[in-house]
Structure 1
Amino acid sequence: MATIGLTLQRDVFQHNDERLMTFIGVTKAAKKKKIYFLTIVLNDLKRNVVIYLIKKTDQYFRKHKNWPLSDLRVVDAKCGQSAADSPEFELHFHNNKQVYKWMANSLNDKYSFIQWLTRLSSQNSSPQRIQFLNIPKESLISAESLEMKRMAINGNNEDNSQSNDYMSEDEESYQVLTSREEADLERLMSQCEFTIHNAEAFTEQLTKEVNSMDSTNIQNIMASEQRVLGLMQILQNAIDETLKLETRIGHYENLLKNVRDVVLQVEQKEAVVQTQNDNNTKLLLELEFLINQLDFPKRSEECLLEGDLTTKNGIALCISAANDLQKALNADIHPSLSYMTAVQEQRKLLNRTCNRFSSRLSHHLNNLFSHLTNQYSDHFLSVISREELTLPSHSVVHNTIRPYSPLVKWLKTNDTEIFAHLAKNYRDFVSKQYERELSLFFEISKERLSGGRYVSGNSTPPQNPDHRRRTLPSSEGSNRRNSGSTTGSTPASNADHFETSSTRSSEISLSEWEEFDTCIERMLSAVDPICLSEQQFCIEFFDLDISAGVPAPTNTSICSSPSPSNQSQGSSETDSKRNEQIRPMMTELFTALEPEFISFATFYDKLDGLYSMYLLVRLTHHVLSAQDTASFLSKSYGNILIQVKRNFDRFMQSQQNSIEESKAPKRPKCGVLPFIKKFEIFAKQTENIFKNAVQRRADIDRWYTVLVRSMFDAINRISKEHHKTPPEMIRLENYHYLQITLSTLKISCLENERKEAKNRYTEALKDYVKRYFGRPLEKLNIFFEGVQQKVSQGVKEEEIGYQLAFSKQELRKIIKDCNLKEVKKGLEEMYRKVEKHTCEPDTNLIQVIWRSMQEEFITQYKTIQEMIERCYPDANITLLFTIDDVLNVFSEIAQTH
């Protein structure tokens, strides 16, 4: 076994700075064929213990598995009653959570290995101790006896200290030499030349040297006994002196004990006095602070209850006194002080003063609102003029009551009920005044646009006949137009509306439409500053601005472009909160704005739907260019825009209904239907209105498509209903005119409809030519139809001349009858028929139809000539006239007519 140990140390562990401590031969409990060596090894570099499983091959040993000793949790010796003499044991490890069962060569080897594990477990400082199961007590050595024995061995031999940490000489026959021991042994062997040849002589020499060293050690120990006795005497004297010093120090402590007690008592009394002084100082400061916080001078109270609220000095004094009262009411005192009787009485006095002043201030401001409204009401109404279209500014009223703004803010903080009542009274007074002003403003606007004919909703005849082109018909036009923008219109009114509206609109010059547009812009420019000025005043006066010092724009149109400084002021969230606060008040102040504006839009929508188009374009531009889309004006204009959009849609729906419900003309010639010509005028006017309205282009484009599609359907329907004009001619004339109109207008959204109109026109032209042109060479056509029938039955084309009914003589006879004179006569009759069907002979439509008939005749001529050449190749048979003769005849007929 010693040889195996040396081999394992040399071949397996030495090159890794590891030292073999012990090993045993084992086999697996299930398989007893292969022999392994279970070793315990100390790593000198890492200073840890590792358990290795060594596997022996044919020539050498190698490491098969390894486990750190710190991972070992349970060692089971299997020494119960059932297995008392079995060398089997188990090891339980933590990391792989696996149980390894081994069978040692003998019981002594098993217990020797387990004893090593118990020693190492006692030396391990880790909190995870190894648990030993089923191990007899007599087979183990306690950890304490092992430790004492190890310390004794270390005291006798310091050179072997590293190896004796884990094993002793008495407990193990084999111990691996340390590197120092090996060096000493090699040096000693090098001094003896006979070491290798004569081991007995070398051993004898070593024995003599050891005996000599033992004798020297004994002598040294005996010589040092006197010195040890002298040292012990010195230590005894030092102990005696120390005892004397301790006795003296104890005496001094007893003397100082009384002094320390007196000093402690003095310190305690001084601390109590200091605490009393601090408490008195704090109490005095607290009382002074309380008095200063709750104190309200008598003169300030008299100023609030009896001060003059009509002068600037009186208002300034009231503001100062109100601020003092506010500080006293909001005094930050400790809650426990509120139970003091003096504090409660003072607060009752302050609250009573606050309530009396709130009532006095509210009564004074309500009287002031009423007085200012009555004083300036007539003046404001007189300022509104038809020439300028302006609204009066309320700056004189705002400037009069603006000095009371700090008091109103104070009232909002201290008495919300009275503040709400005050704000309601202001809204009631001012809203009535704005209602009268806006009503008069819109009435004057209507009067201006109608040239003085409109007065309070009534229509008067024009004063001057020259005003025919400068005025808009209101009474008669309204009666004719009244049902045009409503869903409950009758079919007759819808049928005539498109023509009536476009005719009346065409009588009004472009400058007059521009005047209407300019008037709308002036109206908006007049309303915007008034609303914004009132909004700014309400924000300041009623403390509605939460934007932390961000001023609202004054006297600025809602659609004006924001400056860079305004863009950087405030945030969207702040503006949104401010608008939520101010919008309800502005809605109550300007309750008449939306109804008056909608009434104005409805009035002109009844006159002519084009007015709704102008309003739609102008209001859309105004709303979309607004700086603050959540403001009161933006919301109001948005609601008005919705109503205008409904008027526009109803107007366009009426156009569609008028097309769909149009009747066939009762005249003999149908001609171009009226709604197509009126659509041309209507589209030109609409394009002029929407030329710069990119935002509303989709709306009109959608209706363009609907109207054109409705005209397609109406043309087809009327062509079938009109029994005096051929349906092909009705479709031909109307689609021809419609495709020319769409090409002239150049509306991009109608490009597909233009192409479709052209295709329908071409198809109608073919149908008309096919129906009425017929076959001028009727006999020849009938003859060659029979020829074609024979060919289809199997007769060759070269043999057709041998058929009796289709002989050359028969062909020549028919050709003789179809001379140029007869052809010309038939064509002249056809031309007169085309003129009879066409409604407008002076147009180029007849030339187009005549050219198509010419092409059809030439096609028939060429077909007959080709049949003659194929069926009668050598008969030298030709028609009596050429294509040039036909062209001359067509040209002569066209020039004659």
Structure 2
Amino acid sequence: MTAIKHALQRDVFTPNDERLLGVVHVAKTGKKRKSSFLCASVTTEHPAEVYICKIKKQEKGEPYKKQKIWHLKELKAVDGKDPDKDITEFDLIFDKCFKWAASSVSEKQTFISVLWKLCRRYLPKQMKVNFTNIPESIKEVSVAGTDNQRTAGGSAAGDGVEGDYQALASQEESDLERMIAECDYAISNAEKFSEMLSSNLSVLDSENISSIMGSEDQVSELMTLLDKALVEVNSIESRLDAYNDMVQSISGQMGQMKNQESFIQITNKNHVTLLQELDKLVLQLDLSKGHIKALNEGDLRVDSGIAACTSAAEALQHAMQVELHPGICRLQAVVEQQKLFEELRQKFAKRLYHFLFELFTKYGNEQSSNNLVRQSDNLKLPKHFAYHRDLLPYKDLTLWLKVADKTKYMQLCEIYTQSLSKVYSREITGFIESAKQRFIEKAAISMQVGNAALEAASASNMSLNTIGQEKKLKLGLKKKLGSSSKNLSGSSSSLSKQHKKFLGSTQSLNVKGVGKKLSKVVGGKKNTLGVSTESLAASDFELSDREKFSSTFREVLNELEPACQDEEAFLVKFFHLNVETADTLLPGGSDDEEDDTEQGAAKRKQYQENQVTKDIRRMMTEIFSVVEKELIGFVAFGERLDPLNSLNMLVVIGERVANARQDNDGSFLAKMLGKSLIEVKRSFDNLIKYKVSAVRQAHLSKSKKCGILPFVIDFEDFAELAEGIFRDTVRRNDLEKAYKGLIEAVFDAIERLAAESQKTPREVVLFENYHALHDCLSRLKIVGLEHERKESKAKYNHNLKIYVTTMMGRPLEKLSTFFEGVEEVMANGVRAEEVSFKLKYSKNELRKCVKEYSGKDVKKGLETLYHKITKHTKENDNRLLRVVWQYMQDEFLQQYKHFEDLIEKCYSGSGIKLEFTINDVLQYFTDIALNQDK
């Protein structure tokens, strides 16, 4: 351990001008023990500082390194664990407790002894370190050693804590050197030097004794002076005792005076405090005569009276909400004043309730008795701004009533909703009725046209093969029935009766029914031409009418939305439906542990917001109870007029719902529009389902050619209309889903009807209709149907190629048979130049075949082929016919070139050629097309 101590002194403490006083080899208590050294050191400079440090031995680099350093002042306690047992564990307590285990008991006791000495020497008395569970032997030895050192030699005692080394002071060192220099033999003859020192010591002792003996007289004189001093001290003490007796007699009197003065001060202070409390109480519980008069007699019909009553009500509420000590509340004057306040509160609350009750009831009755002027060209809902403006001055009084009498406040809310509900119900009902009047005249004419069409079709037994013919018939009949429109443009009451007649329970204006009747008359069977009833409906309800309905629907929403928003804003402002005035207690009371936390505050706020939203929605639902019913009825009215109206309605109301939810998802307007949107979406889905069903049920007439199928034309019309309505709207996804189901049904129906077609070849039906679909999808550029566009193009090209190949067949039959045999011979290994030596395929045989096909015969065969193609495609325009004829030309030229290539290859030099050239063929095709078009 001595070697370690010297190494630590040399490597760690000497470079820092410190001296190592104690060291112990320790390890932390626990499973993993890492050894280190605890050292106690003192600085060499003055004043000295004592430190306790933890040193760890490094594996590489520096051999030792300080890990932790504490000043001795930071040490609070030392615990030796058990003074009766030899254990190595001990604790040092600084800002926290550090548990150590020494390598041996002796090292532990030595280090604790060093700490004890350092604390006794360098720490002041007030900074006492608590040493517990330390053997008393260590403390006694340490105390004794410390006392001896202090007696013997000042700072040397402190410096020599362990006793194994004591440094000389500078004066001692100089005296020793001088003495050794005077005695040259001090080192060579130690005995002689010792004898000399002994003799010098004897001489000094004798001189000291002589000096003491010489000072005896002085000592006697000093003792005499001390005796005199004692006499004077006794005299002073007696005088002080006399003074003390005198002061004690006065002390009692002064104490009594002090207690009396203190009592007077306390009494005065209590009087002042009592006066202040009384003044405060009187001011808080005082209500001026003017306020009392305003509460009892204030005129609520004028602005000055409203302001006076509002001020008085606020003063009364403030006085009633003053927090008083429970003892003060038992005072008779306070009880009487509070009773007065309660009477004033009840009386004014009743008076205010009856006044507002009369206002609400009067307005509801007056508005209900007025006649609503219906304007079919200018749809406008009556505004209630003036009524709201007249009521807003009472909003502060309404807030007072909400706080003072919640029951009357709730009753007042109910009265207001009932009165305004009657007003809005009549106004909105008439408003929606006016919107419907715009279309009743048109619908009546449409019904008469439909009935006339049925009668005309039955009488003439004519065949309506296309939608265009039906339109012409109805337009002609409309002119004849022009006078009937005058009979339908009478008063609003007569129109209303006609509206009920045409659009009532029988739904006689349902254009689907008209379409069904027409289809029965025309074909004898339901949906004979494969035309959906929506297509027939579109002919009755023209595009301009559909746009007019869309515009009217927007006008209706433009009027309903501000009415709902203005009324809701007024309710929030007048009835104070906000979080600040909402009930602050959560369900179940306010004793939750979370109330004082952020989570509790957020929970309360969320509950208050939900309560406010429910109150607003409840009042709005009661006031506008008729809005949802009327709006859904108007949606149904538009659907009956024309099912395609659902497209415009879905887009219009979808945008309104999105905007309303963005502004306030929980508002009445958002919920009301959301329910209407569900109804419109149902109407739209029914339209798509019916279209899909009509496509799947479509079938062909056995006596008619096919051409472009009606449902393909209907899909094109629907897609054009829908794209114009839904492009870049929020409801685009609904249309994309509808497209998928509808186009799938169209594809399946085309394939099915093409297979059933008897008058038109299957390939013609396919490529004609797929060409029409591809043309429609390419023109409209519907992103969601890009795959279907490519598929329709592929099917169109595939079936067109099959049709051309089938129709072209083998126009030069014998030549085709001859050259097929040539190709077969060549495939069996015969070289091309040797084919002509075969008897069956000789040059003479080839010349015979060539002579049978003159240019005139070829042209005649092509003319026959053109007639067949024209017959198959006559239901379409000439553009598609020209495309097919061009494909035919390419196919014929391909066969011609193939024949020429075989002749050149197998019969080279024979001079055999076809009697017509490629230019002749091109001319034949051109002449045939031009002549037929003429």
Per-residue CA shift, 1:155-209, capped at 9, x if unaligned? xxx6955566543xxxx8x966566655543444445555566556655555554
Structure 2 distance, partners of 1:9, 1:702, is 87
Q: Does 1:243 align with 2:243?
A: no
Amino acid at match of 2:417: R
Matched, 1:679 2:715: yes
1:766-785 equivalent positions in 2, closer than 5 A: 766-785=801-820
Aligned match for 1:644, one of 658, 677, 680: 680
**1:602 and 2:601 matched:** no
Residue 538 and residue 861 in structure 1: after superposition, are their counterparts in 2 closer, same or farther (change >3 A)?
Answer: same
**2:619 aligned residue:** 585
Greater fraction of residues in helix? 2
Cα 1:806–1:221 change in 2 (3 A) is farther
Q: Cα gap change, 1:434/1:778 in structure 2, threshold over 3 Å: closer, same or farther? A: same
- Local SS of the residue matching 1:694: coil
Most deviating of 277-286 and 885-894: 277-286
Deviations 1:528-580 (CA, angstroms, capped at 9, x unpaired): 443343334333332335579xxxxxxxxxxxxxxxxxxxxxx9999988655
Amino acid at match of 1:643: E
Q: Please, which of 560, 572, 575 is the counterpart of residue 527 of structure 1? A: 560
Which of 664, 667, 690 does residue 700 from structure 2 map onto? 664
* Mapped pair 1:259 → 2:212: no
Rounded to whole Å, the distance in 2 between the matches of 1:576 and 1:484 is 51
Note the alpha carbon deviations across 1:365-406, whole angstroms, 9 max, x for none.
333332332223333x43553343212223444455445444
Question: 2:375 is aligned with what amino acid?
Answer: S
Report the Cα offset of residue 767 of structure 1: 1.1
Residue aligning to 2:511: 480
| Residues 305 and 357, structure 1, Cα contact 8 Å, conserved in 2 | yes
- 1:728 corresponds to which residue? 763
Q: Contact (CA 8 Å) 1:13, 1:19: kept in 2 or not?
A: no
1:392 aligns to 2:379 (yes or no)? no
Counterparts of 1:526 and 1:589, CA distance in 2: 16
Tell me the distance in 1 between the aligned counterparts of 2:206 and 2:327.
96
Match of 2:589 in 1: none
Which residue of structure 2 aligns with residue 34 of structure 1? none
- Shift of the 266–821 alpha-carbon distance from structure 1 to 2, 3 Å rule, reads same
Structure 2 residue runs of 5 or longer lacking an equivalent are 24-38, 54-62, 92-97, 120-128, 452-477, 490-494, 517-524, 582-604
Aligned-partner residue type, residue 717 of structure 1: R
Change (3 A) 1:239 1:623: farther
| Residues 311-350 of structure 1 mapped to structure 2, 5 A cutoff | 318-319=309-310, 321-340=312-331, 343-344=334-335, 346-350=337-341
Q: Give the distance between the partners of 1:400 and 1:50, measured in 2 at CA.
A: 86
Structure 2 counterpart of 1:445 = 435
1:753 paired to 2:788:
yes
Work out whether 1:632 is the aligned partner of 2:622.
no
**In structure 2, the residue corresponding to 1:664 is in which secondary structure?**
coil
CA pair 744-863 structure 1, distance change in 2 beyond 3 A: same
Contact 2:709–2:769, Cα closer than 8 Å, also in 1: yes
Distance change >3 Å, CA 131–CA 537, structure 1 → 2: closer
**d(CA) in 1 for partners of 2:311, 2:903:** 122
- Asked if the contact 1:629/1:635 (under 8 Å) is kept, the reply is no
Root mean square deviation of aligned Cα: 5.2
Alignment partners' CA distance in 2, 1:227 and 1:301: 105
In 2: Cα distance, 1:64 partner to 1:419 partner:
81
Is the Cα contact below 8 Å between 2:21 and 2:114 reproduced in 1? no
User: In structure 2, how many angstroms separate the alpha carbons of the residues matched to 1:682 and 1:534?
Assistant: 40
1:221 deviates by: 4.2
2:918 is the counterpart of 1:883: yes
Q: Residue 541 of structure 1 aligns with which residue? A: 574
Report Cα offsets for 1:743-777 as digits up to 9, x if no partner.
33344444443332222111111111122211112
Please report how far the alpha carbon of residue 675 of structure 1 lies from its aligned counterpart in structure 2 after TM superposition.
Answer: 2.1
Alignment partners' CA distance in 2, 1:76 and 1:417 = 77
Distance 1:319 1:383, change over 3 A: farther
Q: Judge conservation of contact 2:835–2:841 (CA < 8 Å) in 1.
A: yes
Of the three residues 853, 866, 870, the one matched with 1:835 is 870
1:429 is matched with which residue: 416, 419, 422?
A: 419
Q: Structure 2 CA distance, aligned partners of 1:404 and 1:10?
A: 92
With the length of structure 1 as denominator, give the TM-score of the two structures: 0.76
CA distance in 2, matches of 1:395, 1:75: 89
Give the Cα separation in 2 of the matches to 1:861 and 1:814.
14
1:63-142 to 2 correspondences below 5 Å = 100=103, 120=114, 123-125=117-119, 127-128=130-131, 142=141
Amino acid at match of 2:152: I
User: Once the two structures are superposed, what CA deviation does each residue of 1:810-856 show, in whole Å capped at 9, x if it has no partner?
Assistant: 33333333443443333222222112211336512222112112211
Deviation of 1:699 (Å): 3.1
Tell me which residue corresponds to 1:763: 798
The answer on whether the counterparts of 1:446 and 1:454 sit within 8 Å (CA) in structure 2 is no
- State the TM-score, normalizing by the size of structure 2: 0.73
Aligned to 1:716: 751
Q: Distance in 1 between matches of 2:202 and 2:552?
A: 138
- Cα distance, 1:477–1:814 mapped onto 2, change above 3 Å: farther
Write out aligned runs for 1:34-49 (5 A).
Answer: 45=44
Give the conservation status (yes or no) of the 8 Å contact 1:735–1:760: yes
Q: Tell whether the 8 Å contact from 2:833 to 2:905 is kept in structure 1 after alignment.
A: yes
Q: Deviations over 1:431-465 (max 9, x none)?
A: 0111011000110111135558789x999999846
Residue identity matched to 2:849: I
The offset of 1:223, in angstroms, is 4.3
Alignment of 1:491-530 (within 5 A): 496-505=532-541, 507-509=542-544, 512-530=545-563
AA at the equivalent of 1:800? V
Task: Assess, with a 3 A threshold, how the Cα gap between structure 1 residues 194 and 296 changes in structure 2: closer, same or farther.
Answer: closer
Residue identity opposite 2:325 in structure 1: H
Q: Alignment partner of 2:324: what SS?
A: coil
For residue 685 of structure 1, report the CA deviation from its aligned partner: 2.9
Q: How many residues align?
A: 806
Q: Is the 8 A contact 1:539 1:582 kept in 2?
A: yes
2-structure distance, mates of 1:76, 1:312: 91
Tell me whether 538-547 or 843-852 shows the greater mean CA deviation: 538-547
Counterpart amino acid of 1:856? E
Query: Which moved further from structure 2: 709-718 or 41-50?
Result: 41-50
Q: What is the rounded CA distance, in whole Å, between the counterparts of 2:109 and 2:734 in structure 1? A: 102
For residue 805 of structure 1, give the secondary structure of its aligned residue in structure 2: helix
CA contact 1:477–1:607 (8 Å) conserved in 2: no
What secondary structure sits across from 1:592 in the alignment? Answer: helix
Task: Measure how far apart 1:424 and its partner are.
Answer: 0.6
- In 2 relative to 1, CA 805–20 (structure 1 residues): closer, same or farther, beyond 3 Å? closer
Q: 1:153 corresponds to which residue?
A: 152
1:390 partner SS = coil
- Distance in 2 (alpha carbons) for counterparts of 1:72 and 1:360: 82
Which secondary structure does the structure 2 equivalent of 1:609 belong to?
A: coil
Deviates more, 1:329-338 or 1:68-77: 68-77
Tell me by how many angstroms 1:265 deviates.
1.6
Q: Select 2:742's aligned residue among 707, 711, 727.
A: 707
Alpha carbons of structure 1 residues 143 and 132: separation in structure 2 relative to 1, 3 Å: same
Instruction: Provide the C-alpha distance between the structure 2 equivalents of 1:805 and 1:845, rounded to a whole number of angstroms.
Output: 43
Q: Deviations over 1:203-244 (max 9, x none)?
A: 555555444444444444444555455445444444443333
